[in-house]
Amino acid sequence: MFRGITKRWMLNTLSVILTIIIFIVVSFIFLVAYIFQNSVEQSLISTSNELSLVFSGYNSDSSSAFTASARDYVENFDKKEQMGVMVINSAGRVVMTSTGFIPSEDAFTDFGEAESNGEGYAFWNGKLSSGESAMSLARLITNDAGKTVGAVRYIVSMEPVNGRIMLFSGIIIAIGIVIIGLVVLSGIMFIRSIVKPIRRISEAAAQIAQGDFSASERIEHKYDDEIGDLCDAVSDMAKDLQTTEQMKNDFISRVSHELRTPLTAIKGWAETMQLSERGTLDRRTFDRGMGVIIKESSRLTSIVEELLDFGRIQSGRMVLMNEKIDILAEFDETVYMLKDRAAEEEIHLLYDEPEAVFPPVYGDRNRLRQVFLNILDNALKYTPKGGVVAAQVIYSKDEPDVIKIIVTDSGCGISAEDLPRVKEKFYKANQNVGGSGIGLAVADEIMNLHNGSLEIESGEGVGTTVTLTFPVYKEGEEKSLPENVKL
């Protein structure tokens, strides 16, 4: 129970709180003791002030006269039930007491202190020979000449006062214990409200890490606070991981299918050509078989290169061979490569090369051609027979720092739900069309490495428009990015 956050709270926060409460309790106990003792002292001082009236004008040096005055004072003392009174002569001996018993003078030091401190009185606090706690006050009696002729000692039992001090101290300690108990109880309840959900989240996270994404459904969202936000975050993370895991599995399945198709065609035609007797295979069939093998080999190479590029980007090992290039010429060559395919698929590929001279772009021509090929390939792939794919290169005075390539198709389009995610790795909006699902992610990353952008606008059943934006080359740009750079 007492481990982790609970242990740290017990050692840190609770120890500080306990120290503060103990300090307050001890301070209150000392304050109560001081108040009670001070009240006794004030009572003794108040009573001793009567000496100025009883012994006023006393000038006799006769011991008998002093004893007579002392007897009168003791006999007429009206607080005998509250305190005892003793009369002391100038030699420091008790000559009269209210109880009639002469106590031992060894225990009292107040008379000597009263003579030496210059204040005319002194307190004594201790225990009598009987073991009883008591407090006394000795006040000197002086004549008109200032000579000390004796003193009166007032003595009060401190047992009742000490009893009250103990009672109030016990009450204060009990209140302190109750406060500490409440603090500990509330602290433990608060810690449990944090620790228990965190433990459940930790257990769920461990299950999620092992592949049990349904564990997120067992996380209870009880509190609308940081713990609740953490529960939501873990649940969202599990959903994202589940989606990513599904996308990865779909990706592996698609790639396996994409690789198996050309391999099957290559193997099939190779076996056909091998099993045929020498000279029995006509030239037309031979050429057809070799054409399929070459075409499917190129397709296989393209898939493998796409996977390798994706791996390089993920690990940060993509290498760009940067130079000044004519972006218009590179795009024109890519369009020319796909014209025959568009004609075979009965798709109208529309492109008019601008007559104006465009400024150069600084980048890797092979990587940019890979982007062009991916965008045009997707446009043809998702456009049905009789559809249109239009491409244009734009450079205007309104935006002199960029060159834009816009590719628009009249294909099936992308739904509003899928559009924000089409550039994510492994994501594939349309499962009915072949492809690995990473080509667009690779193209987008290549555009980012060239400080450009790839933007997609689409409507389901309407078509898709892809806009590639390239920054125009500026003198000195190659100094900030070497030609052979590892990104």
Whether 91 and 115 have beta carbons less than 8 Å apart is answered as no
Whether 208 and 219 have beta carbons less than 8 Å apart is answered as no
> Would you state the pLDDT for residue 482?
42
Per-residue pLDDT tens over the stretch 108-146: 788 888 888 878 889 888 888 778 888 888 888 877 667
d(CA 136, CA 156): 6
Q: Which residue in this structure is represented by tokens 């020319």?
A: 336
The residues, any chain, with a CB within 8 Å of residue 159's CB and separated by 6 or more, are: 132, 133
> Would you state the pLDDT for residue 453?
92
> Would you state the pLDDT for residue 221?
65
d(CA 199, CA 261): 49
Q: Which residue in this structure is represented by tokens 């035609």?
A: 269
Give DSSP secondary structure letters for 24-53. HHHHHHHHHHHHHHHHHHHHHHHHHTTHHH
Measured between its terminal Cα atoms, the distance across the chain in Å is 50
> Would you state the pLDDT for residue 349?
92
Give DSSP secondary structure letters for 337-367. HHHHHHHHTT-EEEE---SSPPPPEEE-HHH
Per-residue pLDDT tens over the stretch 187-223: 778 777 777 777 777 777 787 777 776 766 666 666 6
Q: Which residue in this structure is represented by tokens 């006040």?
A: 139
Per-residue pLDDT tens over the stretch 403-450: 999 999 998 888 888 888 888 776 666 655 555 567 788 888 889 888
For range 18-32, the mean pLDDT: 91
Q: Token pair of 469, please?
A: 């934006």
> Would you state the pLDDT for residue 332?
92
Per-residue pLDDT tens over the stretch 251-260: 676 667 667 7
Q: Place 67 in a pLDDT band, splitting at 50, 70 and 90.
A: confident
CB atoms within 10 A of CB 464: 25
174: pLDDT strictly greater than 90: yes
| Mean pLDDT, rounded, of the chain | 80
H-only helix segments in 79-158: 110-117
> Would you state the pLDDT for residue 484?
42
DSSP state of 454: E
Report the chain's C-alpha Rg in angstroms: 52
Per-residue pLDDT tens over the stretch 130-139: 788 888 888 8
Per-residue pLDDT tens over the stretch 269-284: 787 777 665 556 677 7
> Would you state the pLDDT for residue 59?
57
Whether 272 and 453 have beta carbons less than 8 Å apart is answered as no
> Would you state the pLDDT for residue 389?
93
Cα–Cα nearest to 247, from 444, 433, 454, 429? 429
d(CA 409, CA 349): 9
What is the pTM (predicted TM-score) of this model? Answer: 0.49
Instruction: Indicate the residue type of 256.
Output: S
